[in-house]
Amino acid sequence: MKSVHKVLENPRGVLKNSTSRKPAQRRSADDRSADILAAARAVIAEQGYEKTLIADIARRAGVVDGTIYRYFENKRDLMVKVAEVWFGEQLLMDSHLDSIHGTQNKLRHLAWRTLSIVRREPVLARFMLMELRPDPNYRNSPFFEMNRKFTHEVLQVCRDAIASGEFVNDISPNMLRDMLHGCIEHRTWAFLRGEGDFDIDEVADGIAKLIYRGMLAQTPATRSDVEAAVARIEEVASKLERKLQS
Amino acid sequence: MKSVHKVLENPRGVLKNSTSRKPAQRRSADDRSADILAAARAVIAEQGYEKTLIADIARRAGVVDGTIYRYFENKRDLMVKVAEVWFGEQLLMDSHLDSIHGTQNKLRHLAWRTLSIVRREPVLARFMLMELRPDPNYRNSPFFEMNRKFTHEVLQVCRDAIASGEFVNDISPNMLRDMLHGCIEHRTWAFLRGEGDFDIDEVADGIAKLIYRGMLAQTPATRSDVEAAVARIEEVASKLERKLQS
DNA sequence: AACAAAAATGAAGTCAGTTCATAAAGTGCT
DNA sequence: AGCACTTTATGAACTGACTTCATTTTTGTT
C-alpha cells in the first residue's frame, strides 16, 4: 500500500524558500517529446543504456528530471520508445529479399541482414537482446510486431522450399527459424562481449550453407532405381551390339 | 569523489539511543556463508532473482542485511556464487557422452542435456542467460570454465567427424557449436517467456538431424544421381554410335 | 487585462543497496 | 576468574537512483 501524496497539506510547498525558478522553456508537446527521445538516444549511444541516468538525459535535453515524467511513464518506457524509433530506422535500410534468387542465397541474405544491423548498432542490439526480448510481454510489444517481418520471411522461404520439394518436410520451419536466429544471436553475444570481431559474410555464408544442406530433400535411390538403370544400360549395350553385327 | 565515513567523528553513533542489540548468533564463517547462500537460493527459487531483495535473503537466513556484506562483496557477487553452486549440481547430473555411439546421436544428446537443465531449473537458466553471459568478463568467470566442458564436447564430436571424413570441412566447428547452442537458447527464451512448453526430445532431435545432415560429407546417392548416371551412359553410347557410322 | 488550462519546475519522497561505528561473543593468556 | 584482544553481528545512517506533485510559469482565450 503506497502512501499517497495528494491529501497531505502541501508537504513539499511549505518548506520552499523564495528561490526564483527559471522561466519555463515552453515548446509543443511533440517537440518536447522528440527532444527527450533524441537526448536519450544520444546519451545511450555514448555510454550504453545501463549507465544512462534520467538526470543525464534531462540535462542533455535541457529540461529537468521531472519533466521527463510528463512525457513518459517511467525510465523503461522511455528506453523502449527510444529503441522503437532506432530499430525502425534500421528496418528501413533493409534490402528487398524478392530480388534474390535461390533458397540458399535467400537464407544467406536473411542472416546477413541481421548481422549487419548488429554491426552497425551494437548498443541497440544489446538493448534489444538484454531488455526487450526477455520482457514477459514481449509478444505484445511493438518489437515483436517489427520482428514478425523477419520471422515471417524466414518461414516463407522455408515453406516455399518445402512446397517445391526442395526441402524435406520432417523438420518444422520453426526449427529452422530458431536455428537461424539462435546462431546469429550466439554470435552477436560474443561480438558484444568484445570477443573479437566477426566477418559478416563468412558467418552468414556458414549459416546458410549448413541450414540449406541440412534441409535439402534427398530421396535415397531405391533398388528398383538401380535395377532400372542397369536395364537401360543393358538395352543400350545390346542395341550397340546389334548394330556392330549388322 | 565519494564522501568518506572514516574521518567523521562517529556520525552514526551519536544519534543512537539505548536500544539494546540482540546477542550475536555466532557461527563459523563457513556455516554462515552457506546459510546465506542457501537462503538466497531459496528466495530466488521462490520469487525469481529479479524480485529478490537483500532484505529478503537476510530475513530468510536469520541475519541482518549488513551481515551479508561480511561474506559477499555485493548483491551481484552473492547471486553469482549462488548460481555457481546451483549450476554445478546440474552438471553432476550429466550422463556420459562416451557411451553414446554415432555422431548424430551424440549431437542429439548434447542438445537434449542442455534442454533438460533448462526444463529442470528455469530460474537458473534465466539467471544465466540474462545476467551471467552478458557480463563483460564472462570469459574469466567460473561459468565460462564450467561451460567449456559443454563447448569442448560439441567441438570434439564435430572435429572427430571431420577427421573421419564423415563431415565436410568447409564449415568451422565453431559455427556448428554456435548453431547448436544458439538454437537451444532461442528455444529456451521462448520457454522462459512462457510461450508454451516444448518437447525436449522433439527439439533435440530436430537440431541434431538438421546439423548432422548439413555437415554430412557423403550424401547418399539419390534417384537423380542414378538418372544422371544413365544419361551419361546414353551420351557415351550415342557418341560411340556416331563413330561407328562414320 | 483577466482568467483558465497546460507545461515545467525542483524539492521532497521512496526504495534498495551499501557502509561502518559499535556491541556482543569468542579466544587466549596469566 | 579476570583481562586484553580478535572476530563476528548489528542496524542506523548513508547513498544514489527513480519518481511524485504542489507550485510557478507560460500560453491561449474571452
SS (H, E, C) B66-108: HHHHHHCCCHHHHHHHHHHHHHHHHHHCCCCCCCCCCHHHHHH
The pLDDT assigned to B97 comes to 87
Task: Look up cell 502541501; give the residue.
Answer: A10
Question: pLDDT tens, A37-50?
Answer: 999 999 999 999 89
The pLDDT assigned to A3 comes to 40
Q: Please tell me the distance from the alpha carbon of residue B54 to that of residue B47, in angstroms, as a whole number.
A: 13
Q: How confident is the model at residue A13 (pLDDT cuts 50, 70, 90)?
A: very low
Chain A contact set for B215 (CB, 8 A): 210, 213-214
The pLDDT assigned to A26 comes to 56
Estimate the crossing angle of helix B173-192 against helix B142-163, to 10 degrees. Answer: 130
- Judged against a pLDDT cut of 50, whether residue A7 lies above it is answered with no
Q: Is A226 within 8 Å of chain B by CB?
A: yes
Å separating the CA of residue A217 from the C1' of nucleotide D29 = 74
Nearest to A171 among B135, B175, B210 (CB): B210
The closest alpha carbon to A216, from A225, A204, A224, A208, belongs to A208
Please check whether the domain covering A94-215 is classified as CATH 1.10.357.
yes
Query: What residue has its CA nearest to the C1' of D23?
Result: A13
Q: Enter the C-alpha cell of residue B130.
A: 540474462
Q: Does ipTM exceed 0.90?
A: no
Strand D contact with A66 (CB < 7 A): yes
Report yes or no: A98 and A135 within 8 Å, Cβ to Cβ.
Answer: no
C-alpha pair distances (Å), B126 with each of A181, A194, B26, B176: 18, 22, 35, 23
Strand D contact with A21 (CB < 7 A): yes
SS3 sequence of A99-153:
CCCCHHHHHHHHHHHHHHHHHHCHHHHHHHHHHHCCCCCHHHCHHHHHHHHHHHH
What own/partner pairs with CB < 8 Å and gap ≥ 24 does A7-13 have? none
Å separating the CA of residue B149 from the C1' of nucleotide D1 = 60
Query: What residue has its CA nearest to the C1' of D13?
Result: B12
By C1' distance from the Cα of A16, the closest nucleotide is C11
Backbone dihedral region for residue A102 (phi beyond 0: left; psi -120 to 50: alpha; all else: beta): left
Q: Please tell me the distance from the alpha carbon of residue B51 to that of residue B185, in angstroms, as a whole number.
A: 23
Q: A26-87: which CATH topology? A: Arc Repressor Mutant, subunit A (1.10.10)
Q: Which residues contact B114 (CB under 8 A, 6 or more apart)?
A: B150, B181, B184
Question: pLDDT tens, A196-241?
Answer: 788 999 999 999 999 998 998 876 677 788 888 888 888 888 888 8
Q: Is B134 within 8 Å of chain A by CB?
A: yes
* Intrachain domains B26-87 and B94-215 with the same fold: no
**What is the separation of C-alpha A51 from the centre of its chain, rounded to a whole number of angstroms?**
23
Q: What does residue B235 show for φ and ψ, rounded to 5 degrees?
A: -60, -45
Q: Is B228 within 8 Å of chain A by CB?
A: no
Q: Which residues contact B56 (CB under 8 A, 6 or more apart)?
A: B43, B47
Q: Enter the C-alpha cell of residue B28.
A: 563459523
Q: Three-state SS for A167?
A: strand
Å separating the CA of residue B12 from the C1' of nucleotide C25 = 23
Provide the b/e sequence for B78-96 (b: ≥16 CB within 10 Å): bbbbbbeebbeebeeeeee
For residue B25, the surrounding DSSP H or E stretch is none
- Judged against a pLDDT cut of 70, whether residue A21 lies above it is answered with no
Q: Enter the C-alpha cell of residue A222.
A: 531405391
Mean pLDDT, chain A, rounded, equals: 85
The pLDDT assigned to B4 comes to 38
Å separating the CA of residue A42 from the C1' of nucleotide C11 = 28
Strand partners, A167: A216
The pLDDT assigned to B25 comes to 58
The closest alpha carbon to A138, from B167, B195, B133, B140, belongs to B195
CB burial of residue B203 (10 Å; 0-12, 13-18, 19+): buried
Task: Look up cell 514477459; give the residue.
Answer: A136
Nearest to A182 among B170, B183, B215 (CB): B183
The closest alpha carbon to B103, from B180, B186, B200, belongs to B180
In chain B, where are the structural domains located?
A: 26-87, 94-215
Q: Three-state SS for B22?
A: coil
Q: What does residue A136 show for φ and ψ, rounded to 5 degrees?
A: -60, -35
- Protein CB footprint (7 Å) on chain D nucleotides: 7-27
Question: pLDDT tens, A143-160?
Answer: 888 888 889 999 999 999
Report yes or no: A178 and B183 within 8 Å, Cβ to Cβ.
Answer: yes
By C1' distance from the Cα of A65, the closest nucleotide is C10
Report yes or no: B49 and B123 within 8 Å, Cβ to Cβ.
Answer: yes
Å separating the CA of residue A246 from the C1' of nucleotide C20 = 114
Question: pLDDT tens, A91-130?
Answer: 888 778 889 999 999 999 999 999 999 999 999 999 999 8
- Judged against a pLDDT cut of 60, whether residue A6 lies above it is answered with no
Q: Is B155 within 8 Å of chain A by CB?
A: no
Q: Please tell me the distance from the alpha carbon of residue A75 to that of residue B48, in angstroms, as a whole number.
A: 22
Strand D contact with A14 (CB < 7 A): yes
The pLDDT assigned to A2 comes to 37
- Number of Cβ pairs closer than 8 Å across A and B? 147
**Which residue in chain A is spatially nearest to B175 when comparing CA positions?**
A206
Mean pLDDT by 10 residues, chain B (246 residues): 38 41 59 94 94 96 96 96 93 85 95 94 92 84 88 95 92 91 92 88 94 82 80 84 81
Q: Please tell me the distance from the alpha carbon of residue B154 to that of residue B143, in angstroms, as a whole number.
A: 17
